[in-house]
Each structure stands twice: as structure tokens, then as C-alpha cells.
Amino acid sequence: MKVNNEVFASDKSDFTIGPYTFEVGGPNKQQKQIQGINNAYIVKDDIEYGHKNIIPLWHFGFHY
């Protein structure tokens, strides 16, 4: 993601890009860590499809 964006570490999640917050985890990662944060997304490994605020990790490869 850093190729086209400024990526920053976050106190509440793994990283932020602009107004968006991302928490990365495995297929069982839950929403607890990002509750109450606007524009927050879970980035999961080992899933094929996203839903609502869950993004498959492999989608980030499209940004390179």
C-alpha cells in the first residue's frame, strides 16, 4: 500500500491510510478491536470474498 499511499502506524489498530483504519488478522479475526472507530476495516487472510467492512488480504496486492 505504501507505493501509492502514506501509511501510518496506529495506536488502535495495525495501520491507517488517510481517514481509513485497518486491522489485519486471520480468518477468525473479529470486530472488537475496531469498535467505535469510523471508517475501520478488518483485513483477513485466507478468505476469498469480503463483506461489509471485511476485506480479503489479497485485495491489497491490486494496489502495487
Position 19, amino acid:
P
Cα distance between residue 10 and residue 22, in whole Å = 9
Note down the domain range covering 29.
Answer: 7-63
Residues 35-52 pLDDT 10s = 999 999 999 999 999 999
Task: For residue 42, count CB atoms less than 10 angstroms from its CB and return exposed for 0-12, middle for 13-18, buried for 19 or more.
Answer: buried
Location of C-alpha cell 461489509: 52
* Average pLDDT in the chain: 92
Inside any domain, residue 2: no
What's the pLDDT band for 56 if we cut at 50, 70, 90? very high
pLDDT at 15 over 70: yes
Q: In this predicted structure, what is the pLDDT of residue 63?
A: 66
Instruction: Using alpha carbons only, give the angle 39, 41, 42 rounded to the nearest 5 degrees.
Output: 165
Count of structural domains within the chain: 1
What's the pLDDT band for 60 if we cut at 50, 70, 90? confident
pTM above 0.85, yes or no: yes
Closest CA to 38 of 19, 24, 57: 19
